[in-house]
Amino acid sequence: MSKLWQKNNQVAAAVEKFTIGNDQAMDQYLAAYDVLGSLAHTTMLSEVGLLTKDELSQIKKALVDIYKTIQVGNFTLAPGVEDIHSQVEIVLTEKLGDIGKKIHSARSRNDQVLVDIKLFMRAEIISLSEAIQGFFTLLQAKSEAHKDDLLPGYTHLQLAMPSSFGLWFGAYAESLVDDMTMLQAAYKVVNKNPLGSAAGYGSSFPINRTRTTELLGFDTLNFNVVYAQMGRGKAERVISMAMANIADTLARLSMDACLFMNQNFGFISFPESLTTGSSIMPHKKNPDVFELIRSYCNRIKALPNEIMMMTTNLPAGYHRDLQLLKEHLFPAFEQLRNCIAMASLMIENIEVKKDLLEDPKYQYLFSVEEVNKLVNSGMPFRDAYKKIGLDIEAGKFNYTTEVHHSHEGSIGNLCTAEIAEAMRKVLNSMEFEKVAHKIDQLLKG
């Protein structure tokens, strides 16, 4: 099949296969967003006099029908069709004749794919944020439920000071707040409209880019048409860095869980149905879920570097190198959400061992507590430190397992409400409801 953009020359089959690559599969991710972009673009074209009201009415009805087909999973690229943009236009033209060909006026495939990717990434950020919010709430609930259950604290993987499960769960909850702050920054970069930049140098048609920005629920424009094209690769890099931070939090939590499940630690356990066994060792309960989360997330942490390298030394303007970014980034969103879902399943069913620190092997965790008691009684800190050190060396160390930490963020004052408020502010600042309303309006016409 000839391409919509093709002139008279034929592209060699080997070149065509190589240049298209895996783009047809990747374009399935963009199908719904291509329709949304076309709905906004054709609405604007009608308002500036490049489509009649009747033409717009026919086009919008056909586009909404295509959108519904996509939503139920029945829209695919026909054999020989290069990309999703071509497939949508072909279906429109089959339904509407020459009217369907008019949707490409004042638009290039360059800004068409740009807006599709921006809309896709925005939707993925919203979905990812919802998943993070649920996991955050779970971690905070577990933090409060286990705030009185003490846990060994380590530095250099050596016994250090008393911690608690409340602190452990709460630490990862607060980590997600910072991760969401990074995702918020990525959202601000992504939520700008490139439509109307055409091939990167604008259009002689009297288009209204502010109008398509409003229709699609973007916060603002990528104003400079050259920069709109330069933003491809940059937006992907920024969002991949935000995803890498989330992945790092999950990978670190998973590593903790693998250690804490180890029999030499024995701090936590899980129902047998959530662990795996060994083909030879009948006693094994392996943390395969956490190990796979760790590996998936470590792979996601490589994304920013992969994207950085693929966009290294590119001059201004569009380059086909950018096509390959989809293959690395697009599947990573679902992988990260799956990791969050599985981590949530595990943490929801975690079993915490009580009274861990009553075991004498943890006695030196309380050395700082005993130093502080002497300081509170009036002894200078250096003298108290030396005395407890000598007591330990002489085998005369006495201690209690009671701790009284009351400052902000400590064992006795987790600041759960303050951390929840910080997360609420980040989420509210992104105004996801506004986007949902605009898209709903666009589909209803």
Query: At 371, which helix (H) or strand (E)?
Result: helix 367-376
Of 104, 123, 139, which residue is a domain's last? 104
What tokens does 431 get?
A: 């105004």
Say yes or no: 61 and 181 in one domain.
Answer: no
Say yes or no: 332 and 239 in one domain.
Answer: yes
> Distance between CA 346 and CA 289 in Å, rounded?
8
For residues 371 and 164, the answer to whether their CB atoms sit within 8 Å is no
Looking at residue 317, its pLDDT comes to 87
Say yes or no: 398 and 276 in one domain.
Answer: no
Say yes or no: 227 and 86 in one domain.
Answer: no
Is the residue at 212 inside a domain?
no
Is the residue at 268 inside a domain?
yes
Pairing of the two strands 220-221 and 351-352: unpaired
pTM score > 0.85 for this model?
A: yes
Say yes or no: 321 and 336 in one domain.
Answer: yes
Is the residue at 441 inside a domain?
no
Three-state DSSP at 320 gives helix
Query: At 164, which helix (H) or strand (E)?
Result: strand 158-164
Say yes or no: 399 and 290 in one domain.
Answer: no
Of 69, 86, 104, which residue is a domain's last? 104
> Distance between CA 420 and CA 177 in Å, rounded?
9
Say yes or no: 407 and 272 in one domain.
Answer: no
Is the residue at 335 inside a domain?
yes
Say yes or no: 56 and 131 in one domain.
Answer: no
> Distance between CA 291 and CA 297 in Å, rounded?
10
Say yes or no: 238 and 352 in one domain.
Answer: yes
> Distance between CA 162 and CA 181 in Å, rounded?
30
| CB contact burial 296-323 (16+ within 10 A = b; e otherwise) | bbeebbebbebbeebbeeeeeebeeebb
What tokens does 333 get?
A: 């969103």
For residues 65 and 35, the answer to whether their CB atoms sit within 8 Å is no
Query: At 221, which helix (H) or strand (E)?
Result: strand 220-221
For residues 197 and 221, the answer to whether their CB atoms sit within 8 Å is no
What tokens does 336 get?
A: 């990260």
Looking at residue 1, its pLDDT comes to 47
Annotate 251-294 with DSSP letters as a single string: HHHHHHHHHHHSTTT--EE--GGGSB--SS-TT--B-HHHHHHH
CATH of the domain at 168: 1.20.200.10
Is the residue at 443 inside a domain?
no
> Distance between CA 291 and CA 96 in Å, rounded?
53
Say yes or no: 135 and 96 in one domain.
Answer: no
Is the residue at 85 inside a domain?
yes
Looking at residue 284, its pLDDT comes to 64
What is the number of structural domains in the chain? 3
Counting as low any pLDDT under 50, the low residues of the chain are 1-2
> Distance between CA 256 and CA 150 in Å, rounded?
16
For residues 307 and 242, the answer to whether their CB atoms sit within 8 Å is no
Looking at residue 15, its pLDDT comes to 79
Is the residue at 155 inside a domain?
no
**Angle value at C-alpha 74, between 68 and 78, nearest 5 degrees:** 115
Chain-centre distance of CA 5, in angstroms?
35
pLDDT in tens, 99-137: 999 999 999 989 999 999 999 999 999 999 999 999 999
Is the residue at 402 inside a domain?
yes
Tell me the residue range of the domain where 367 lies: 359-414
For residues 329 and 243, the answer to whether their CB atoms sit within 8 Å is no
Say yes or no: 363 and 343 in one domain.
Answer: no
Say yes or no: 375 and 233 in one domain.
Answer: no
The residues, ordered by sequence, that sit 6+ positions from 151 with a Cβ below 8 Å of its Cβ are 162, 163, 164, 165, 167, 168, 267, 356, 357
